Protein backbone atom coordinates (compact mmCIF):
# COMPACT_ATOMS: atom_id res chain seq x y z
CA UNK A 1 0.00 0.00 0.00
CA UNK A 2 1.47 3.39 -0.94
CA UNK A 3 2.45 5.83 1.77
CA UNK A 4 0.09 8.73 2.36
CA UNK A 5 1.89 12.03 1.95
CA UNK A 6 1.01 15.35 3.55
CA UNK A 7 -0.39 17.66 0.88
CA UNK A 8 1.12 20.77 2.48
CA UNK A 9 4.77 19.71 2.12
CA UNK A 10 6.51 18.68 -1.12
CA UNK A 11 6.88 14.89 -1.33
CA UNK A 12 10.65 15.03 -1.79
CA UNK A 13 10.98 16.95 1.50
CA UNK A 14 8.81 14.36 3.26
CA UNK A 15 10.96 11.52 1.93
CA UNK A 16 14.15 13.33 2.94
CA UNK A 17 12.75 13.91 6.44
CA UNK A 18 11.71 10.25 6.71
CA UNK A 19 15.30 9.24 5.91
CA UNK A 20 16.68 11.80 8.40
CA UNK A 21 14.43 10.32 11.11
CA UNK A 22 15.64 6.81 10.23
CA UNK A 23 19.23 8.04 10.61
CA UNK A 24 18.44 9.77 13.92
CA UNK A 25 16.71 6.68 15.31
CA UNK A 26 19.65 4.52 14.11
CA UNK A 27 17.39 2.33 11.97
CA UNK A 28 19.76 3.54 9.23
CA UNK A 29 23.27 3.48 10.71
CA UNK A 30 26.36 5.19 9.36
CA UNK A 31 27.44 3.24 6.28
CA UNK A 32 24.02 1.64 5.73
CA UNK A 33 22.76 1.37 2.17
CA UNK A 34 19.67 3.43 1.37
CA UNK A 35 16.73 2.05 -0.50
CA UNK A 36 17.29 2.88 -4.16
CA UNK A 37 15.38 5.79 -5.64
CA UNK A 38 13.76 3.35 -8.06
CA UNK A 39 12.51 1.28 -5.10
CA UNK A 40 11.20 4.44 -3.39
CA UNK A 41 9.40 5.43 -6.57
CA UNK A 42 7.84 1.99 -6.95
CA UNK A 43 6.92 1.59 -3.28
CA UNK A 44 5.35 5.04 -2.92
CA UNK A 45 4.05 5.29 -6.48
CA UNK A 46 5.87 8.53 -7.14
CA UNK A 47 7.96 9.87 -9.98
CA UNK A 48 11.56 8.60 -9.74
CA UNK A 49 12.74 12.21 -10.14
CA UNK A 50 10.99 13.05 -6.86
CA UNK A 51 12.87 10.30 -5.03
CA UNK A 52 16.11 11.43 -6.69
CA UNK A 53 15.49 14.97 -5.50
CA UNK A 54 15.06 13.79 -1.90
CA UNK A 55 18.31 11.85 -1.96
CA UNK A 56 20.14 14.70 -3.73
CA UNK A 57 19.05 17.00 -0.90
CA UNK A 58 20.55 14.60 1.64
CA UNK A 59 23.76 14.39 -0.40
CA UNK A 60 23.94 18.19 -0.41
CA UNK A 61 23.51 18.14 3.39
CA UNK A 62 26.39 15.66 3.69
CA UNK A 63 24.19 12.98 5.22
CA UNK A 64 24.33 10.58 2.27
CA UNK A 65 27.16 9.63 -0.07
CA UNK A 66 27.03 8.01 -3.48
CA UNK A 67 29.25 5.08 -4.34
CA UNK A 68 29.16 4.93 -8.12
CA UNK A 69 27.65 1.71 -9.40
CA UNK A 70 26.86 0.48 -5.88
CA UNK A 71 24.27 2.84 -4.44
CA UNK A 72 23.67 5.53 -1.86
CA UNK A 73 24.89 5.14 1.71
CA UNK A 74 24.51 6.97 5.00
CA UNK A 75 27.62 9.10 5.43
CA UNK A 76 29.98 8.46 8.32
CA UNK A 77 29.00 10.78 11.16
CA UNK A 78 25.55 11.53 9.71
CA UNK A 79 23.67 10.64 12.90
CA UNK A 80 25.98 12.74 15.08
CA UNK A 81 25.69 15.68 12.66
CA UNK A 82 21.89 15.46 12.65
CA UNK A 83 21.77 15.22 16.43
CA UNK A 84 24.00 18.28 16.80
CA UNK A 85 21.92 20.30 14.35
CA UNK A 86 18.60 19.34 15.93
CA UNK A 87 19.85 19.83 19.48
CA UNK A 88 20.69 23.44 18.66
CA UNK A 89 17.11 24.17 17.59
CA UNK A 90 15.24 21.84 19.98
CA UNK A 91 14.60 24.29 22.82
CA UNK A 92 13.48 27.16 20.63
CA UNK A 93 11.39 25.14 18.16
CA UNK A 94 9.99 22.28 20.24
CA UNK A 95 10.43 22.55 23.98
CA UNK A 96 9.84 26.31 24.31
CA UNK A 97 6.48 26.29 22.53
CA UNK A 98 5.37 23.20 24.51
CA UNK A 99 6.26 24.88 27.80
CA UNK A 100 4.52 28.09 26.74
CA UNK A 101 1.40 26.08 25.90
CA UNK A 102 1.48 24.52 29.36
CA UNK A 103 1.68 27.98 30.92
CA UNK A 104 -1.22 29.23 28.78
CA UNK A 105 -3.23 26.24 29.98
CA UNK A 106 -2.61 27.40 33.52
CA UNK A 107 -0.05 24.82 34.57
CA UNK A 108 2.40 26.07 37.19
CA UNK A 109 6.13 25.69 36.71
CA UNK A 110 6.07 22.93 39.32
CA UNK A 111 3.31 21.08 37.42
CA UNK A 112 5.20 21.39 34.15
CA UNK A 113 8.40 20.09 35.76
CA UNK A 114 6.49 17.20 37.34
CA UNK A 115 4.87 16.36 34.00
CA UNK A 116 8.34 16.28 32.42
CA UNK A 117 9.65 14.02 35.22
CA UNK A 118 6.65 11.72 34.86
CA UNK A 119 7.12 11.49 31.11
CA UNK A 120 10.83 10.78 31.40
CA UNK A 121 10.30 8.01 33.94
CA UNK A 122 7.32 6.39 32.20
CA UNK A 123 7.17 4.44 28.96
CA UNK A 124 9.15 6.29 26.35
CA UNK A 125 8.25 6.29 22.68
CA UNK A 126 10.17 3.81 20.57
CA UNK A 127 10.01 5.99 17.47
CA UNK A 128 10.56 9.61 16.62
CA UNK A 129 7.50 11.78 16.05
CA UNK A 130 6.92 13.03 12.55
CA UNK A 131 8.59 16.38 12.06
CA UNK A 132 6.36 19.38 11.60
CA UNK A 133 9.19 21.34 10.02
CA UNK A 134 10.59 19.40 7.10
CA UNK A 135 12.40 22.38 5.68
CA UNK A 136 11.80 25.59 3.87
CA UNK A 137 12.83 24.57 0.38
CA UNK A 138 10.05 24.42 -2.15
CA UNK A 139 9.49 21.76 -4.77
CA UNK A 140 10.66 22.75 -8.22
Task: Express each pLDDT in 9-43 by its tens digit.
Answer: 999 999 999 999 999 999 999 999 999 999 989 98
Task: Express each pLDDT in 42-53 by its tens digit.
Answer: 988 999 999 999
Measured CA to CA, the distance from residue 41 to residue 60 in angstroms comes to 20
Reported pTM: 0.73
Q: What is the pLDDT of residue 4?
A: 72
Q: What is the pLDDT of residue 7?
A: 83
Cβ neighbours for 40, distance < 8 A, ≥ 6 positions apart: 15, 46, 48, 51, 54
Measured CA to CA, the distance from residue 125 to residue 107 in angstroms comes to 24
Q: What is the mean pLDDT of the chain?
A: 86
Q: What is the pLDDT of residue 66?
A: 93
Q: What is the pLDDT of residue 95?
A: 93
Task: Express each pLDDT in 63-76 by its tens digit.
Answer: 999 999 899 999 99
Judged against a pLDDT cut of 50, whether residue 133 lies above it is answered with: no
H or E element at residue 66: strand 64-67
Q: Is the sign of the CA dihedral 23, 25, 26, 28 positive or negative? A: negative
Task: Express each pLDDT in 76-129 by its tens digit.
Answer: 999 999 999 999 999 899 999 999 999 999 999 999 999 999 999 987 665 555
Q: Alpha helix (H) ranges present in 25-68?
A: 37-44, 48-60
Amino acid sequence: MPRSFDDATPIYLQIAEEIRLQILSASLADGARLTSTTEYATRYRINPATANKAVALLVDEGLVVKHRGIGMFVADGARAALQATRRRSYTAEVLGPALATGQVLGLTDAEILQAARDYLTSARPTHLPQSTTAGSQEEI
